[in-house]
Chain A
């Protein structure tokens, strides 16, 4: 069975470490915040200028001056700080964020990522995604392995305009957890109930099955 969005978020959450500063993109990455292990302190960075993003507010707590990068109303966690966009991207570009999780349309065997534009269809802009992929060392891309039509999103070469070049090393899909190195996808884990052949069939770029490959634990 392919993983649900929640299961994908749970798997990503296993990569969190105590004391990590983390930037979570919109969509599945946002859900990761719900699965931070107990007894672990993680601080969420929101690129509009907030470090220490808290829960959504109650009706009484709503404050129009306090939003996240998805423009949702939020609260501040204990120990939070607020700052300008320039300061926020100094954190991001300066490599101070420990983990970045973001979505994509496509990734390829060279670690290229396309996530912001579908020419003629979707041209809303890159927001902070180009800065995040260029500035971060530790990035996990979350996306479905293939489109609804069964087209692979793990390619030999990205077909859409790039968000970043040679910057992605880890991909979690609804079928598998993969590492990108030496111009190949390396299958590290497969989702419970999914066969390696199914993953191979839906991976257009070259796929190497790691010797240590194992079933994912959610």
Chain B
């Protein structure tokens, strides 16, 4: 690597330094926009005792779900974890600690973490189990919870395109949590579908500036679909 070139040679190098007990923040919503190959590399490495921060935990055979098979995750911070039977088993038997966190609060925890803001107030969760044990403060006659931000030892991110300097562009709703995750890792690793030369991306169109990115690699992606819903290409009423 030289200068601002963030490109690494292989997936081992991309995840080098990940150790047992570390915190990993992952982008993705369901199986959309997840860093598939970085997750596979964590599985291959066999790192254990991880705290994973991600909106969801994949499904049994795909996404972060593959890290459950060998019990690599000890704690997960997520908003919705419903699509995974092994997850449910480990949660019910207390092998896996689950911190259910409202989706907007989770996004803001990552955003604030990356922006150097240690905590913030939000109305979300006041008077619910999420608020238990947290400081409540009143502003303009309304109650708000104090929520602490999150930083990770690693952040793993999926973007669509990057230049070698790590400037990133996401595609459609595969963006989701990825931009916040990218800011919140001590080491941020990004995998993309295409890497171009610096100068080829329009600076006005960059979603994540390269300053947040430490390592960059190009991969191939399965992009599995969780709920395949379609309408007919043609119907007799013409209302397609």
Contacts and interface: CB of A to CB of B under 8 A. Distances in A.
Interface of A: 46-50, 55-60, 62-74, 76, 82-86, 88-89, 92-93, 112, 117, 123-131, 134-135, 161-166
A58 B240 CA distance: 9
A203 to B, nearest CB: 23
B126 interface: yes
B230 A85 contact: no
Contact of B103 (A47, A84, A123): A47
B224 interface: yes
B201 interface: no
Nearest to B180: A86
A56 B229 contact: yes
A108 B195 CA distance: 54
A83 B127 contact: no
Contacts of B23: none
Given A82-B173, A125-B78, A130-B128, 9 more contacts: A47-B103, A62-B230, A64-B224, A65-B33, A66-B173, A73-B227, A89-B103, A164-B126, A165-B128
A130 to B, nearest CB: 4
A46 B98 CA distance: 25
Contacts of A131: 102-105, 124
B231 A85 contact: no
A125 B79 contact: yes
B156 interface: no
A28 to B, nearest CB: 17
16 contacts: A49-B176, A64-B224, A71-B29, A72-B229, A73-B229, A76-B172, A86-B111, A92-B104, A123-B100, A125-B79, A125-B81, A130-B102, A131-B102, A134-B125, A134-B126, A165-B128
B129 A55 contact: no
B72 interface: no
Contact of B127 (A63, A126, A165): A165
* For the complex of A and B, 9 pairs with smallest distance between CB atoms: A165-B127, A89-B104, A124-B82, A131-B104, A64-B223, A130-B102, A85-B107, A71-B30, A125-B80
Given A55-B231, A67-B173, A127-B79, A93 B124 contact: yes
Size band of the B side of the interface? Answer: 35 or more
A124 B31 CA distance: 16
Q: Say whether chain B's binding surface is mostly helix, strand, loop, or mixed.
A: loop
B105 to A, nearest CB: 7
Contacts of B80: 124-127
A128 B32 CA distance: 17
B237 interface: no
Interface in B48-99: 55, 78-82, 91, 98
Interface string B170-192: 01111111111000000000000
Given A85-B107, A93-B104, A125-B81, A130 B124 contact: yes
A71 B172 contact: no
A13 to B, nearest CB: 17
Nearest to A89: B104
Contacts of A166: 127
B163 to A, nearest CB: 20
A126 B102 contact: yes
Contacts of B130: 126, 130
